[in-house]
Structure 1
């Protein structure tokens, strides 16, 4: 089979989720609604935290960054998916494909570390409340956020450099709805074992390190909550981090199911469903998870609405 490197492949073809025209229209409408809700929800969270001074705390600083990641993450994947569902043009250029893949890796990995930082923030707030203002200083929060972005950008860059050196065979058909790592590797006619090991190591470090941080944090939180004598105190302490725990469980469940498993167990249909879940559904759910039962967010929204009403009346 003729071998071609990236300079000789102008385009890839994204096969998408289905060939049925009826299902394509259903998926287009569904994904469009999900995307609009994602944009409105995450942009609303960011704007609300920016406008309300009472939300200028470490917890909401991390939440605003997570909303930014979710908004960007969905934007990297969903518009091209919608285009492919709406038209028969499933072609994506080599540069666009690798750009999408690089941002996908960068934003996904950064989300893992932001969730770890949020777990640590919950741990300090519940287990060491008296030291919270000192421990969770603005300097530490900025360091955690900046460090997450820098580490994950480096990982994405290393992946891109290795992937850019791959040689591809005659086939340029990607059996997925976006440029994911595993389907692109499947097109290469050169040995990708080293690349697969590197991806597995990076993925394991991202998921396992952040997952251990989260597990240890919530283990300590649970131990502290159980020591609280009053029922109301237990409920209040648990409600502080319950939404975050739910978001973490959903995100890591889908991520581990998709990537941290043997290659021989890969299933296109099953993995595509999981991919839809963590690339589109989870970014939509996060604003709902972190705001529906959050009294501080609701109060901040009420304050903003009242200010807007007063401003309108004064005009």
Structure 2
């Protein structure tokens, strides 16, 4: 199977450097018409410049590819709307959206200012919402769309000093879960990549050996797979250094406790059985979990 994006139109946010830049270059190398979006801000989201996006566009064009630059701030709904209007005006459609833009403002929770929490959530979560909303009806009408969210191990498992970042990254997984259900009938497939890579956001956190191993080029193939015509939907794919793993939210089999025993003490006695991960399953949607609980409860009562 050969994956290509010939005549596909791809928007990559935060594509001026790091992972986004590599995603844009790789889509273009496989035939896509690429919109290189980058606000051009600093790692913490301050500032702004179009130079980074224009430089990536120039790289693509020198290699024979097709690309345009856009400087929209993903937190600004009007700028995002203009981004999508520019894309459709130039290329006629939008086939793929990669929500990659992000910032960091790391501090332990006791020292974290609420405005820094809001700023990070606004870029990672609300920015993904804004961009996805702007392309959603276009993808529905053309009955084709591929959307990739960007999560993180911090959101899946937690990381000290990243309450804002971890909360936002966990939230985009919840967003994916719902949009998968709403978009699947219109051939919109939506997935999440959880990358481990050396970028300007992580370079001062990694030892030298890890920096050399975790280059963005070893993550991008996962994004291209999740954006392809035959992509799955609702997949979380962790990727770093050329290693890949699927992640999932799972739940153990429910254990019924009758009213005669229902107490926190009895739950404590039964917690080993309740948390028996050998019984764990994945639910395709919330209804499946509710149905399972109700069947158990109603049959037991």
Give your verdict on TM over 0.5.
no
In terms of fraction of residues, the more helix-rich structure is 1
TM-score tier (shorter): under 0.3
Specify which structure has the bigger relative contact order, considering alpha-carbon pairs within 8 angstroms and separated by 6 or more residues: 1
Q: TM-score, normalised by structure 1?
A: 0.25
Q: Give 1 or 2: higher strand fraction.
A: 2
